[in-house]
Amino acid sequence: MAKECLHKDCSYSRFGGGYCKMHQYMREDKQPEQLKRTPIKKVSTKRSKENAQYLKKRMKFLIGKICPITGRPATEVHHKAGREHSRLNDESEWLAVTREGHQQIHLNPQWAREKGYLK
């Protein structure tokens, strides 16, 4: 006769390691190791390099620029054609603006397109 499972109150025959098929996977002495979880990057390696390059270019670009909308010294860069990876560092599509000017561009897109601030 086959030997019985080592689990308390189980009369099934042993499968492996002294336990039946059902209790083999419930063994406390042989739990699977916890997987090491690594967080997903918020920014890809390529984009982080582009962002670092952008920050350097941005600081140089803003020096001495005046916002065409408010007439005050510019503090931000507006990307006329968007900030996709190929356009992020394209200075020909940049416009130096103040925060108020930038908000006005995005709150009034039709007006901004007429003036050439948006593409």
User: What is the domain range of residue 96?
Assistant: 64-115
| Residue 34 within any structural domain of the chain | no
| Residue 77 within any structural domain of the chain | yes
User: How many Å apart are CA 78 and CA 84, to the nearest integer?
Assistant: 13
| Residue 103 within any structural domain of the chain | yes
pTM listed for this prediction? 0.64
Number of domains in the chain: 1
Whether 85 contacts 102, CB under 8 Å: no
Question: Of 5-9, 30-34, 63-67, where does mean pLDDT reach its minimum?
Answer: 30-34
User: Averaged over 1-7, what is the pLDDT?
Assistant: 78
Confidence (pLDDT) at 87: 86
Whether 53 contacts 41, CB under 8 Å: no
Average predicted confidence (pLDDT) for the chain: 87
CB neighbourhood size of 96 (10 A): 20
| Residue 75 within any structural domain of the chain | yes
| Residue 23 within any structural domain of the chain | no
| Residue 45 within any structural domain of the chain | no
Confidence (pLDDT) at 34: 65
Whether 16 contacts 8, CB under 8 Å: no
